[in-house]
């Protein structure tokens, strides 16, 4: 085992050394010390030990004493982590939800495997390859594992369809299924396009260009770029998208570390969205690659940033692949905005819990609800590159226009209804019952958005289910306060299930304080 441990660790050093000739080889005596300790525990400890777990725990222990973003992932975790960023997975191509213990198809992926064989929204998939998946209390993860599989393999699906007595059987050939990273793109006001990016993955840049092209064809001149709750992703995708909004040669971001020399990322060509006005929407969960785009737009005076101070994840990780498919993500540098601000918020090494509680602490200190609670030292003052406006470092991106978090919008009663799946389950029942009728009644989304009102029967069903689950409002006042946001959410969910996510956000954004302030900010530019 000593030889294996030494080979593993030396292999890691070689990978790092290939990227930078300045990497100093670790003292071999320290490597030997680590290996002897592992060998002693494996061979001499009083009880049997899992050698693989022992090594993994040792790696995690080393990384946990560093920064909050250096990490170790098992092969299974690596696959799960990379899937949303790689732009596709292999499966049958359906969006579904669970109604009690039955899988109900919400939508089939356009031109995907299930659509090709005739599976439709509302179908219940009750069996996969002779294994029952309905009525057996199977977890969502286990169901997905059975539906997914290598491209070209066959999933034999047993399907129950409303109005048809017999169970239907479909042989579905699994294929590559695209994973979209752009959640929504639509014309939010005449001449103003809205694009919401969920993360920055392998296909995000192509999706962004396609969305720009579609919106321009519909008359878009100005852009609202929504990066709220965007946790980041690939640096290259963020740099490419920022480049579309900037002039050729404009600095987007630079990275620099102890052993990594400075590297600049600049706009490579004249972007396709240079002329119109731009507003970027952010919140306390906007992080990493999303902060790179935000900082580039703000520091180059290309647009206005609206919302709340971003998360502050400005550490660059290098993936180090290990022989068994596991991975170390090791921090090697910092991100800096064009004006020189370090995006990373302060942290204490090894204090992971404190770091994880930062957003909660911001709320307690009033930073999310009151701009006056946010203070910056003069040493953190920077100037934007073209208009020389004052901006501040110290972690995250502080918006140009602050929008406080409205903690009263969602009542405790509403949050409990959502947490216990009452809203989503009753909405699913309603759409399942009325899908065909709604499709006939509303020829297009515009008509639906203007005319549809959430029926009382759906609200009553939610209240009745809440009563069964012993979820009760504090008083009649809380119940009354809950209804406006509840009915808005229900209307948006119904729109999503009839059309897609753009329609969902088209409804929800009409009551979003950050979106409304962003639209106001466009008029000030």
Instruction: Cite the active site residues.
Output: 288, 299, 313
CA distances 319 to 10, 52, 69, 260, Å, are 16, 20, 12, 15
Picking from 273, 268, 316, 260, the residue whose alpha carbon sits closest to that of residue 292 is 316
Q: Is the dihedral of CA 408, 457, 99, 148 positive or negative?
A: negative
Picking from 414, 416, 495, the residue whose alpha carbon sits closest to that of residue 454 is 495
Q: Which residues pair with 155 in a beta bridge?
A: 172
Contact present, 225 and 282 (Cβ < 8 Å):
no
Contact present, 219 and 191 (Cβ < 8 Å):
yes
From CA 362, how far away is CA 433, in angstroms rounded? Answer: 44
From CA 114, how far away is CA 127, in angstroms rounded? Answer: 14
Contact present, 290 and 238 (Cβ < 8 Å):
yes
Task: Provide CB contacts within 8 A for 263, sequence distance 6+.
Answer: 254, 255, 256
Picking from 167, 249, 226, the residue whose alpha carbon sits closest to that of residue 517 is 226
- Per DSSP, 344 falls in state P
From CA 252, how far away is CA 254, in angstroms rounded? Answer: 7
The kind and range of the H/E element at 36 are helix 28-44
From CA 5, how far away is CA 10, in angstroms rounded? Answer: 8
User: Can you say how many angstroms the Cα of residue 53 is from the centroid of all Cα atoms in its chain?
Assistant: 30
Tokens of 518: 């962003």
Query: Going by DSSP bridges, is the β-strand pair 327-336/131-132 parallel, antiparallel, or unpaired?
Result: unpaired
Which 3 state secondary structure label does DSSP give 492?
A: helix
Taking the alpha carbons at both ends of the chain, their separation in whole angstroms is 65
CA angle at residue 106 from 101 to 108, to 5 degrees?
125
From CA 319, how far away is CA 315, in angstroms rounded? Answer: 13
Query: Going by DSSP bridges, is the β-strand pair 222-226/278-282 parallel, antiparallel, or unpaired?
Result: parallel
The kind and range of the H/E element at 231 are none
Q: Which residues pair with 154 in a beta bridge?
A: 173
């Amino acid at each position: 085992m000593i030889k294996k441990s030494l080979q593993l660790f030396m292999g890691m050093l070689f990978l790092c050394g290939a990227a930078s000739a300045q990497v100093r080889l670790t003292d071999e005596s320290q490597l030997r010390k680590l290996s002897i300790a592992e060998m002693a525990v494996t061979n001499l400890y009083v009880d049997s030990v899992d050698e693989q777990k022992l090594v993994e725990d040792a790696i995690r222990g080393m990384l946990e004493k560093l920064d909050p973003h250096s990490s170790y992932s098992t092969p299974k975790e690596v696959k799960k982590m990379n899937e949303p960023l790689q732009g596709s997975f292999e499966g049958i191509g359906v969006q579904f939800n669970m109604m009690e213990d039955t899988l109900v198809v919400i939508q089939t992926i356009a031109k995907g495997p299930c659509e090709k064989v005739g599976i439709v929204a509302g179908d219940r998939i009750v069996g996969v390859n002779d294994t029952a998946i309905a009525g057996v209390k199977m977890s969502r993860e286990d169901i997905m594992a059975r539906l997914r599989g290598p491209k070209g393999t066959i999933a034999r699906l047993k399907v129950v369809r409303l109005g048809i007595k017999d169970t239907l059987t479909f042989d579905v050939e699994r294929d590559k299924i695209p994973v979209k990273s752009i959640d929504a793109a639509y014309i939010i006001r005449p001449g103003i396009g809205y694009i919401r990016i969920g993360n920055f993955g392998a296909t995000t840049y192509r999706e962004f260009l396609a969305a720009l092209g579609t919106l321009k064809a519909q008359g878009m001149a100005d852009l609202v770029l929504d990066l709220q709750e965007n946790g980041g992703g690939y640096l290259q995708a963020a740099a490419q998208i920022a480049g579309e909004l900037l002039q050729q040669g404009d600095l987007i971001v630079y990275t620099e570390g102890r052993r990594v020399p400075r590297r600049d990322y600049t706009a490579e060509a004249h972007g396709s969205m240079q002329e119109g006005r731009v507003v970027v929407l952010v919140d306390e969960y906007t992080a990493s690659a999303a902060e790179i785009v935000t900082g580039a737009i703000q520091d180059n005076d290309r647009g206005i940033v609206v919302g709340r101070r971003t998360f502050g994840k400005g550490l660059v990780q290098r993936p180090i692949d290990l022989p068994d498919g596991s991975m170390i993500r090791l921090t090697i540098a910092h991100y800096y905005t064009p004006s020189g601000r370090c995006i990373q918020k302060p942290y204490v090494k090894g204090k992971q819990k404190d770091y994880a509680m930062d957003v909660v602490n911001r709320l307690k200190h009033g930073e999310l609800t009151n701009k006056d609670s946010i203070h910056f030292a003069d040493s953190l003052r920077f100037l934007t590159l073209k208009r020389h406006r004052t901006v501040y470092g110290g972690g995250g991106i502080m918006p140009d226009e602050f929008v406080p978090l409205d903690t009263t919008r969602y009542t405790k009663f509403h949050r409990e209804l959502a947490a216990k799946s009452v809203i989503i389950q009753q909405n699913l029942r309603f759409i399942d019952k009325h899908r065909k009728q709604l499709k006939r009644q509303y020829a297009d989304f515009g008509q639906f958005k203007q005319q549809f009102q959430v029926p009382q029967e759906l609200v009553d069903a939610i209240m009745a289910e809440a009563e069964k689950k012993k979820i009760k409002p504090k008083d009649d006042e809380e119940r009354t306060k809950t209804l406006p946001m509840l009915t808005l959410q229900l209307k948006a969910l119904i729109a999503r299930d009839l059309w897609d996510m753009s329609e969902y956000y088209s409804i929800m954004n009409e009551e979003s304080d950050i979106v409304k302030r962003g639209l106001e900010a466009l008029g000030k530019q």
